[in-house]
Copies of this chain bind each other. A is one copy, B any other.
Amino acid sequence: MGMRDEILEQPAVVERLLGEQRASMAKLAARLRRRAIDSVVIAARGTSDHAAIYAQYVLGTRHRLPVALAAPSVLSLYGTAPRFRRALVVGISQSGASPDVVGILEAARAQGAPTIAITNDPRSALAEAADEVVDLAAGPERAVAATKTYTAELAAVALLSSALLGRKADSAAMDRLPTALARGLEAEADAQRAAVAQRSISHAVVLGRGYEYATAREWALKLQELTQVLTAPYSAADFQHGPIALTGPGLPVFAVVSGGAASADIAAVLRRLRKLGADLLVVSNRRALREAGARSLAVPGGIAEWLMPIVSIVPCQLHALHLARARGLDPDAPRHLRKVTRTT
């Protein structure tokens, strides 16, 4: 079992999560609705931090909740826990073992704030520290680079949002995810071709915006873990506030952009980058957006905009995997990394 096997497991993992967790999530949501919640604080590191960014957009746009991504160092280095007044505090961690993330949940619970752990290990320290546990039940993840637990974390966030809102239409929309994930895997041949063509790059910019900003961040991290290519991820808006000065002929730019509210804006940025000579790889569910790139990877259509990041990361994972291989690296043995990093 290696990283590629775990990428291929994702349709089954998300299908199982949606099937098995829906009833318990509805009960969790009913308990949460009895609490006064004005805002949300999320603690996470690494890949899980990108699930937190997704949650920031989901809870912001669908629930109008301000979401703070906790700076765990405020507690772990400076010893001061925030006062979590009328805040829901969520910890997201595949292993549930990162002491700084656990510390935030423990502090929140001690203050009486409602707490949720989203983790692949329901017996972890993080699960112990929280009132409520969402078990990703993704099966053991053995590859150092997280893939199936990332999509499971996003699906858990989507399920939580849907349960809190109690919207029937969401269930039908989420039921389309496993099939879309399976179709997303069909991008592998194109991902491999793009990777072989790009095998000599040393650095790249990764762009996303809105919901897909989380995907851009996660794609960039996979590339850094696996390929030894230095990647800098940006929201397309922030990119225009300075980093666009990097763009010259041949700069590799990887963009993930779904049809929807962000697409007109990011399409204009892509046209500008192309004029400046950037070498564009576009991952999108829209043909017109893909055609802005010199190369592209297709994401299946038919998925609601707010659920797109669960699907669009799949071609990006395959691209990172094949770029590692094309560079003669083993994606199952990235250098200097262990599966669980215990930062304090």
Contacts and interface: CB of A to CB of B under 8 A. Distances in A.
A316 to B, nearest CB: 15
Interface stretch (A11-19, A233-241, A289-297): A233-241
A65 interface: yes
Given A56-B71, A74-B57, A343-B241, A66 B38 contact: no
Nearest to A74: B60
A344 B202 CA distance: 32
A57 B80 CA distance: 10
Copies in the complex: 2
Contact of A46 (B61, B238, B262): B238
Nearest to A89: B66
Q: How large is the interface on A (under 10, 10 to 19, 20 to 34, 35 or more residues)?
A: 35 or more
B242 A228 contact: no
A123 interface: no
A327 to B, nearest CB: 12
Interface stretch (A26-34, A167-175, A203-211): A203-211
Given A60-B82, A61-B78, 8 more contacts: A47-B242, A62-B80, A64-B80, A65-B83, A66-B83, A73-B235, A77-B262, A229-B246
Interface of A: 38-39, 41, 45-47, 49, 56-57, 60-62, 64-74, 77-87, 100, 145, 202-205, 209-210, 213, 221, 224-226, 228-232, 235, 237-238, 240-248, 261-262, 265, 276, 334-337, 341, 343-344
